[in-house]
Structure 1
């Protein structure tokens, strides 16, 4: 085990990681390595191993905070953002329970399935929505636990880098699994079985688009697979850049980059483009020029290695106006705003826009507007902006070049996942939702560490700018 940790760069400094870092590494492993469809049956969708682990962590955080063991005291930007969103979710839950739910006959999308012709009864809708709202609270509690534990429990840069390295390697594992599916078309559902867990849906099947396999790995859907890998790309790049020259250093960034394209999804390419733009804007000119010079070679290499992939992705954007999946999204707007008018401020409850009684809605922000109302949408944007701002804060105030670059990478990842929420209902996919909140928590931790470690610089001996090692610590 120690050999693995040392070889993967998960423990480059002496000393044992604190409990929070261990918690986050286990959470990331359960989130990315275990198929999201495997759940603890009685709990339904929130019964994934990752969410159960997060709920246990929430209990520990509450006990530690009440008992005075949490070193973070009083209100912080992260606590305020989490608190506002929690109030919005609870208000939506209460408002939906008090007001009740209904499903207009014309809200369903037109399909060939016969069951959509049978109008649901009021009792059926109520029973479904109550269960859905309860599931929403359980999932939300797990997400907020990850944010708070990451933001307040990671107390050293070593622990933060260890978590980032673990996430980068888990993303590599996910991408490698997708590559196997892409090449051989293997259905992994036959091979992954965990005692005590049952699948709540079929998984592991390989879809297709044009002549290419669309893979999902351990994710629910290829879109989720691609978006998650694209949002993790900056962390994989950060890990690879700062282990340059060591054996296997390029494996994470290479596999994650290739894996994000194997979903053959516009959403993944959009997220990847956003992360790259943020990184390019934040890098020094020398890095930016090298990256732009390297980009054509990467595209040519990808085209030669996987014939037809680049052309298929380009065609997705060229024919976007004639794509049924795009027109289907735009046709949802009228339905959304009609239902939004019923509960404009507080919404109807998280997870209560159930596709079976309504329709599939491929826009998480519209989904939040419906389920949590205007208050919930504002609170969600506040939490996302808090994560981005903390990443930028870490980039500005961190003492070392490596920590500053990590702040930039986390900001890029959060912005990428936030843009991805426009193109699909990300919170309905456990891996996409969990990874986005994990990124926010890590950005908050990076900012906190940058602020705490900054005063030490004033007490240090002035650095000789002619020293080679000191010069190497220049920006970004």
Structure 2
């Protein structure tokens, strides 16, 4: 029996004097799957740690820098640097505005840190300044990873959807605390972590236990939820993502409803101011068909809170009505802060006394981040912080103008709303002194840069397509 004939080889085909190699089998072609670990995936882990790990607990012996999210953000930045060195990741010039703004903030903090050597600072102040400068570098790495690492619209939207889910989980914990009186951070300690901040709640106000969840205190809880709310509203308004049925209806409006219900449970003016700012920025940009149901839902929500928690709305209204009176201790304390810190500002008006050196145990509380920044990093530092806020607003607004489809345009307005919230509530408490809120802020700041970079890339692609068909 003769051996089988060998398989026939396909000869190269000559075309125009050249040789075109035979086509490879389809099985040999590389599989075009997205990478398993991109910036959005890495930042999802960071977001989970910063939102769900109690902000009052840190890795033992690392102090304020030992929060799990802070430690992981260093690893994330090292991962990004490795990608840069291997050529897998590049810096998109379209998203460079947020990185430039971070350079401005870093320079302001560094100059203030250098100026600390010009006065006799206590060891406690020097250690606090060292931590603040290290934390600033960590924030820079976070912004770089988010702004330069996320280059596709789909991946940015995935990360923001995950952020909304995490914000909803924090809001649910706050609601459960409000009704049960059981505080999570007092009873749950993660193995390997130690309590770095007193987890005790700020206490009751108007007979109501104030919601706190995994944050350090109710003011931070209200600010964190208010910053998440614009993105929850945007995702609920994107009708193309949802189908009919009760299940999809709950998935669509559940996060928004949960967040809005949880905000009054902080029993603070800051949370209500954040809610008002969000609605004031977002609602004028909505079409009439969407605005009218929003007005109705606002009234229904207020009535529901009044029925479910009798006296809560009345307590909040009293907080605002008494803010200018002589019977409000919180307002009086804030008013006295101006006179109390004036001598320190006069001593070093331009670059301040040093970042994070105005320690309450040594001096006093300010309950106003602009006032605190004026003392610690001076006029230059306050202007640098404002550069961050307005750059985030500008990135959202400019990306909105460059986008053509409505859901993506709404996303730009959400970034503008989030940073507008920070702009206003920074006058009501020390915003960037709180770990969860500051970590969330700089994550969103990097995402706003990524959003603008993606919008610019898509606009340039549309312009090239139009030029090719013209």
Superposed pair shares fold, TM > 0.5:
yes
Q: Does 1:88 align with 2:108?
A: yes
TM-score (norm 2): 0.86
Instruction: Pick closer, same or farther for the CA change 1:461–1:346 going to 2, 3 Å.
Output: closer
Q: Contact 1:52 / 1:142 at 8 angstroms: preserved in 2?
A: no
- Name the counterpart of 1:111: none
Unmatched segments (≥5 aa) in structure 2: 1-32
Summarize the alignment of residues 304-453 of structure 1 with structure 2, pairs less than 5 Å apart.
Answer: 304-321=307-324, 322-453=327-458
Give the deviation of 1:15 after TM superposition.
4.3
- Name the counterpart of 1:472: none
Equivalent of 2:134 in 120, 138, 156: 138
- Name the counterpart of 1:282: 285
Give the deviation of 1:29 after TM superposition.
0.8
Instruction: Pick closer, same or farther for the CA change 1:66–1:95 going to 2, 3 Å.
Output: farther
Q: Contact 1:206 / 1:215 at 8 angstroms: preserved in 2?
A: no
Separation in 2, partners of 1:71, 1:400: 27
Separation in 1, partners of 2:314, 2:120: 49
Cα shift readout 1:183-226 (whole Å, capped 9, x = no counterpart): 11113235422222100133154721112111210110111111
Q: Contact 2:185 / 2:213 at 8 angstroms: preserved in 1?
A: no
Unmatched segments (≥5 aa) in structure 1: 1-13, 102-125, 463-476
Give the deviation of 1:76 after TM superposition.
2.6
- Name the counterpart of 1:202: 198
Moved more, 320-329 or 52-61: 52-61
Moved more, 445-454 or 397-406: 397-406
Q: Does 1:272 align with 2:275?
A: yes
Q: Does 1:51 align with 2:54?
A: no
C-alpha RMSD of the superposition? 2.1
Q: Contact 2:202 / 2:217 at 8 angstroms: preserved in 1?
A: no
TM-score (norm 1): 0.85
Give the deviation of 1:302 after TM superposition.
2.0
Q: Contact 1:55 / 1:141 at 8 angstroms: preserved in 2?
A: no
Instruction: Pick closer, same or farther for the CA change 1:225–1:342 going to 2, 3 Å.
Output: same
Separation in 1, partners of 2:101, 2:453: 15
Instruction: Pick closer, same or farther for the CA change 1:402–1:17 going to 2, 3 Å.
Output: farther
Give the deviation of 1:338 after TM superposition.
1.4
Q: Contact 1:388 / 1:411 at 8 angstroms: preserved in 2?
A: yes
Separation in 2, partners of 1:150, 1:443: 9
Give the deviation of 1:265 after TM superposition.
0.6
Larger of the two Rg values belongs to structure:
2
Moved more, 29-38 or 328-337: 328-337
- Name the counterpart of 2:262: 259
Give the deviation of 1:347 after TM superposition.
1.7
SS in 2 for 1:358: coil
Cα shift readout 1:151-170 (whole Å, capped 9, x = no counterpart): 11111111111111111000
Instruction: Pick closer, same or farther for the CA change 1:260–1:454 going to 2, 3 Å.
Output: same
